[in-house]
Amino acid sequence: MSDRRFRFGVVGSPRTGAEWTTTVRRAADLGYATVLMPDGLQLPSPFPSLAMAAAVADIRVGTFVAAAPLRTPRAAAWEAHTLTVLTDGRFEFGIGTGRPDAEQQTADIGLPWGSAKERRDQVRRTLDTLQELDGDLRTPIMLAAGGPRALALAAARADIVSLAKDAMTPRAEVAQLVQELRKLAGARADDIELAMNLFAAGTRELPPWTKRATGVDPEVLEASDSLMLLRGTPEEMADELQRRRDEFGTSYITVNSTYLEDLAPVVELLHGK
């Protein structure tokens, strides 16, 4: 389905500057294309974190993803445009309507959460403002898509679409999601890069916080054909990723920084392919 070459990203959640710079430099050394930061008040702010990352290594950086309700559209667009300028175009702006836990965080900083429609409209206003600020520049946009309305927004505005389904979503449902996205995108369907995020890779035992992160018991997740997992030897994992690219068109693979080293042999195997 896709003739795009693979690229790989690392999603970090640093607690200290030393930890973050170590992750960023190691990711760059191992051939990862991007380092990404989630958005939430429990973590360092993503925008200065990514500016720091871009300064310590020659690697692309991105938000994964910024929660629109945590900033006004003008403030979020300003932050994103600034990173595009200061990184010489190495920034990718991932933005979404916010995970459920972002509602309390939005209240904590004194901004309204809003309805689902209001939050989607806020994403649109942010992207419109960013486009105005960019002028002749072009900040790539990543949107997550799971439900029909998010899918329509992603089809219209995204350069990169992260397929956002829960851990137990069957492959057939993901394939149907991709078909719907391509239909909605029309003439620009081939211009959209499809991304898939991995919770775990390699052969290590799943951590005890698996259920909190995925909503599924580790034993159940391990016994399933979950697309959140990539298990086996480097060769087996590389074969599976090529199968997924053939089946879904996913060529941009991101992984939790806990598994940065585990996926590294696969990054080497699939480099340039």
Q: Give DSSP secondary structure letters for 207-259.
A: PTTHHHHHSS-HHHHHHTT-TTEEES-HHHHHHHHHHHHHHH-EEEEEEEGGG
So what's the pLDDT on residue 18? 97
pTM: 0.95
Name the residue among 146, 144, 259, 265 with its Cα closest to residue 210. 259
Pairwise CA distance, residues 92 & 63, whole Å: 7
Contacts of 17 (CB under 8 A, 6+ apart): 52
- Give pLDDT, residue 27: 98
Amino acid code (one letter) for 121: D
Instruction: Give the per-residue pLDDT at 249.
Output: 96
7-270: CATH topology is TIM Barrel (3.20.20)
Residues of the chain with pLDDT under 50: 1
Q: Residue type at 8?
A: F
Q: Are strands 229-231 and 200-202 parallel, antiparallel or unpaired?
A: parallel
- State how far the alpha carbon of 133 is from the alpha carbons of 9, 78, 139, in Å: 27, 8, 10
- The domain segmentation of the chain, as residue ranges, is 7-270
| pLDDT (0 to 100) of residue 2 | 53
C-alpha to C-alpha distance for 171 and 140, rounded to whole angstroms: 28
pLDDT for 1: 46
The amino acid sitting at 154 is: A
Q: What is the pLDDT of residue 123?
A: 97
